[in-house]
Amino acid sequence: MSDSARATNGSTASIGGDSADEASERDDTTVTDEAYTFDDVSVVMGTYNEAAAIATVLEDIDEVTDGRAAVVCVDGSSDRTPEIAREHGARVIEQEPQGYGVAVREAVLAPDRPVVVTTDCDDTYPMEALPAFLAEINDGADVVSGDRLYHGAAAMPAFNRLGNHAFAAVASLLAGERVHDTTTGMRAYRREVVEEIGWTENTGLSAELLIRPLMRGYDVRERPIAYAERLGDTKLDPIGGGAAIAKSILTVCVEERLRRL
């Protein structure tokens, strides 16, 4: 996808195109003649000591979806996060803290609704974009990925921003498709996509959740989103986490290329 073809005014851009090979490789999960509503959507997240943010995040989801989206929190907190989650009607799955990906893998596999949306529980992601993400799924997308870097991500620490640009450049090269934000926490998936693929990464799970569907020919679209400053403290160590993400991107891209042989 060239930058000129990239979405500008808040619409999405498809990444690559389905080659006959890629399309025949996957199950046909795209159902375009049924319109999902928020009754068909689960919003899921890992939560680890997010008492400063969780009420805001869950209230935003409720407001935007009119209380219709189901919410799942996979929680490893030692603070009041799980109580606040339950008070807001979320389903809480308790799990020892083992890192981002261990929590989010359990979270994306938990729902039985057909559309699964991930977010962080830190108030950085715009829940008001949920209707647009759902509309994109109803338009036939298998994965809709929020691109924080499109609008500049001024709220992101500069080191992380640089790293995220670098991850996107490397992933684009290795995957053979231009992607712009590989580590975003906000995406919508058809549930079949998350169920059909085996997930292996932890800190790098977000990149894996984008790259494997993309390299298997699913309809993956990036959509520019706003990105706000975090409430509460980050759980990711920028250097160790960054190295783990880089390793995940290499591993996943190589595995997906070998899988095509």
Binding site for ligand GDP (CB under 6 A): 45-48, 50, 74-76, 95, 97-100, 103, 120-122, 185, 234-236
Residue nearest to ligand GDP (CB): 46
Question: From the CB of 60, what's the least distance to Mg ion, in Å?
Answer: 15
Residue 80 CB-half CA count within 13 A: 8
The answer to whether residue 50 forms part of the interface with Mg ion (CB under 5 A) is: no
- Asked if residue 120 binds Mg ion (CB under 5 A), the reply is yes
Q: What is the DSSP string of 244-258?
A: HHHHHHHHHHHHHHH
Which among 137, 100, 102 has a CA at the least distance from the CA of 120?
100
The listed partner (Mg ion, ligand GDP, none) that binds 179, CB under 5 to 8 Å by sort, is: none
Nearer to ligand GDP, 45 or 130 (CB): 45
User: Which residue, 12 or 49, has its beta carbon nearer to ligand GDP?
Assistant: 49
Q: How far is the CB of 215 from ligand GDP (least distance, A)?
A: 23
Amino acid at 82: P
Residue 241, CA atoms < 13 Å, CB-side half-sphere: 17
Give the closest residue to 15 by CA, choosing from 255, 246, 223, 183. Answer: 223
CB of 96 to ligand GDP, least distance (A): 8
How distant, in Å, are the alpha carbons of 20, 54, 110, 234 from that of 159? 40, 26, 33, 14
DSSP E strand stretches across the chain: 13-14, 41-47, 70-75, 91-94, 115-118, 143-147, 187-190, 220-224
Question: Which of the choices ligand GDP, Mg ion, none does residue 74 contact, using the CB cut-off of 5 to 8 A by kind?
Answer: ligand GDP
| Cβ 206 to Mg ion shortest distance, Å | 10
Please say which residue, 120 or 136, places its beta carbon nearer to Mg ion: 120
Least separation in angstroms between residue 139's CB and Mg ion is 27
